[in-house]
Amino acid sequence: MMKLIEKNPEVFVAVSDIVEIGETELSFLKAQVLKTPRKRARICAHREGSDALHEMIIVISEASYIHPHRHVGKSESFHIIDGKADVVIFDDTGDIETVVELGPRGSGRHFFYRLSRPLYHTVVLRSEMLVMHEVTNGPFNLDDTDYASFAPKEDDVSLVKEYSSALNKRIEEFFENRGV
């Protein structure tokens, strides 16, 4: 396995000028996800939060809740390697604007997604784990992330469970109303 520096239990940074991700690194991330409270882990191919380009291989467990949020002044893209997920895009009040069904090539779902405006969004897993390549512009500044007030914070476990259940029903209704 390539050399990594652990920033925290969820974030590892590749220190080589040539970053190679293979089955060994994915197995490492999948094992790490099970140890983290938020049930996600990543290897950053960029070295510093101040870098202009951020590329990450991210593994997320279906037990993870991602608080709907938007990024001020940023674009982001996902390329799905393994697993399935829905990216839910919301308006400012929390109504669903669209749902992007993602999966690996050959799954019948889109395998690439890019968001170029600061819209509220979340990722809802449709498989046990999701493995994706995310690209966004840096630098990373936590203040550039605006967490939606219409959704519960990650640490409010009972509200997260209720919200997630209701959101899944709303996603089903979105597809029914769209005729999918």
Tell me what pLDDT residue 144 has: 85
Calculate mean pLDDT across residues 157-170. Answer: 97
Give the DSSP letter of residue 110. Answer: B
Average pLDDT for 135-156: 93
CA 88 to chain CA mean position, Å: 11
Q: Please give the structure tokens belonging to residue 96.
A: 């669903």
> Which residue has tokens 């050959």?
106
Whether 89 and 100 have beta carbons less than 8 Å apart is answered as yes
Q: Mean pLDDT, to the nearest integer, of 36-64?
A: 96
Q: How many Å apart are CA 132 and CA 105, to the nearest integer?
A: 12
**Interatomic CA distance for residues 4 and 50, integer angstroms:** 18
Residue 178: predicted pLDDT? 82
Listed in sequence order, the DSSP H helices in the chain are 23-33, 157-178
Residue 141 confidence class, pLDDT cut points 50, 70, 90: confident
Q: Work out the average pLDDT over 124-144.
A: 93
Q: Which of 56, 68, 65, 52 is nearest to 29 (CA)?
A: 56
pLDDT tens per residue, range 51-70 = 999 999 999 999 999 999 99
Q: What separation in angstroms does the CA of 96 have from each of 29, 116, 118, 138?
A: 31, 17, 15, 27
For 32, half-sphere exposure in the C-beta direction (CA atoms, 13 angstrom radius) is 20
User: How many other CB atoms are found less than 10 A from the CB of residue 87?
Assistant: 19
Across 19-30, average pLDDT = 97
For 65-97, how does the pLDDT look when each residue is reduced to its tens digit (9 = 90+)? 999 999 989 999 999 999 999 999 999 999 999
Q: What is the pLDDT of residue 68?
A: 98
Structure confidence at residue 118 as a pLDDT band (50, 70, 90): very high
Q: What is the mean pLDDT of the chain?
A: 96
pTM of the entire predicted model? 0.95
